[in-house]
Structure 1
């Protein structure tokens, strides 16, 4: 038996978690009190682990509650700042694979128009910030002095930045198009 499976069974026997029949495989769901304690004690490391696992397994049809929680960790909520900071590439991938399908699923399945539109609005503003950071970095690279270019050449890959910048722009257009369709 795998180590994780044995650990999950021990948690279920102790009453700290319960089996989840809604999802395939060996899945457990923690009691809300255990979840609250983990949020307080886990901090940034637990939040980052949550985001990494959601990025790997993210399926809006199976675990939309976890996907919404990960969106709150990445984007923040009202006065709460974002807890997890992703790189620009990770941000684009997270929005493309998790947030966009989640918003569409929330709208089509649960008729949660306001929630889906708000999530897409936040995604648009995050993508605009990522675009601005790319534009500033590439502009600095193009207009910098020759010695600065030689020193920074190993740290900055303009071709990679340009590809991610292009993906960011295309994803922003897709998010805006989806927002427009949901508004109609």
Structure 2
């Protein structure tokens, strides 16, 4: 009944309805209204022509768009509170939903909602202010335990995620909250995702046009886009080195030694032995080797 009222009051795809749809994928904590509204706006529309027309109108009224968006976000959140679908929080600009509402939003199963939530969190989320929601996005992107992967990213989006979100989040979780297992597991899953993307890059690409040109050699994505492939490999090396450094701090020297050697191999192959990043990785390897030798000396009979 409430959704029918919202749709009648604000068109067939009201912002309030879409905000409820998006909330099912956020963490079970208060949600910033601006972040929730951004996810709601990113939910794909069913009618492509309508979306293009709205985009055209938005481009004509770009000066007043921000103030209009803030007003519509406030009206939508106020409507949700009035109908007891959500409740306001003591922290200004936040709203909270009951878990039954969030479960209903998930079960409703609108296509593209989880993707919209992940895109909103990646583009606008703050690691210091919204760590729970960023972790919720990570659970949709990577296979934690038996949970399936809900959202898949393009390679360029995955690389941005690694640099801007995953690495800072894992380091902050490890150092600030001493959650070593969670940080290392996140980095491991992200490394696996990059390895899978790398494997796809070196797989030959078959195009329907190439079948008629039998003399043309089959190419891979790595050959078609070498810069992106190198960036992918270097990001994997950065993840491996970060995992090795965290394991060094956690006393897991043997595993860290194996990881840093892989990082050195990648960087040496792409950047060369004299590159600063390669030298930095070798210094990390030297520390691990010394500590591992000391452990073996003290534990030997």
| Same-fold status (TM-score > 0.5) | yes
Q: Distance in 1 between matches of 2:175 and 2:104?
A: 34
| Residue 195 of structure 2 is aligned to residue 133 of structure 1 | no
Structure 2: runs of 5 or more not aligned? 1-67, 249-301
1:56-81 Cα distance to aligned partner (Å, 9 max, x none): 11211111111111001011321222
Q: RMSD of the TM alignment (CA)?
A: 2.8
Q: Tell me what 2:184 maps to.
A: 117
1:63-78 correspondence runs (5 A): 63-78=130-145
What is the aligned partner in structure 1 of residue 81 from structure 2?
Answer: 12
**SS in structure 2 opposite 1:29?**
strand
TM-score (norm 1): 0.81
Q: Which has the larger radius of gyration?
A: 2
Alpha-carbon distance, 1:118 to partner: 0.4
Contact in 1 for aligned 2:222/2:229 (Cα 8 Å): no
The equivalent residue for 1:92 is 159
The answer to whether the 8 Å contact 2:191/2:239 transfers is yes
Please give the alpha-carbon distance, in whole angstroms, between the structure 2 residues aligned to 1:157 and 1:118.
Answer: 28
**Contact residue 106 and residue 112 of structure 1 kept, 8 A:** yes
Which blocks of at least 5 consecutive residues in structure 1 are unaligned? none
Question: Normalised by the size of structure 2, how large is the TM-score?
Answer: 0.52
Q: Shift in Å at residue 82 of structure 1?
A: 0.2
Contact kept? 1:18, 1:28, Cα under 8 Å: yes
Q: How big is the shift at 1:122? A: 0.5
Structure having the higher helix fraction is: 1
Number of corresponding residues = 175
Separation (CA, whole Å) in 2 of partners of 1:149 and 1:87: 31
Task: Find the aligned partners of 1:165 and 1:120 in 2 and give their Cα distance.
Answer: 20
- Aligned equivalents of 1:107, 1:50: Cα separation in 2: 25
Q: 1:103/1:20 Cα in 2 relative to 1: closer, same or farther (>3 Å)? A: farther
* Cα deviation, residue 145, structure 1: 7.5
Q: Secondary structure in 1 aligned to 2:93? A: coil
Match of 2:226 among 162, 170, 176: 162
1:17 is displaced (CA, Å) by 2.2
Q: Distance in 2 between matches of 1:149 and 1:77?
A: 45
User: Aligned equivalents of 1:13 and 1:3: distance in 2?
Assistant: 15
8 Å contact from structure 2 (residues 202, 222) kept in 1: no
Q: Alignment partner of 1:78: what SS?
A: coil
Q: 61-70 or 91-100, which moves further after superposition?
A: 91-100
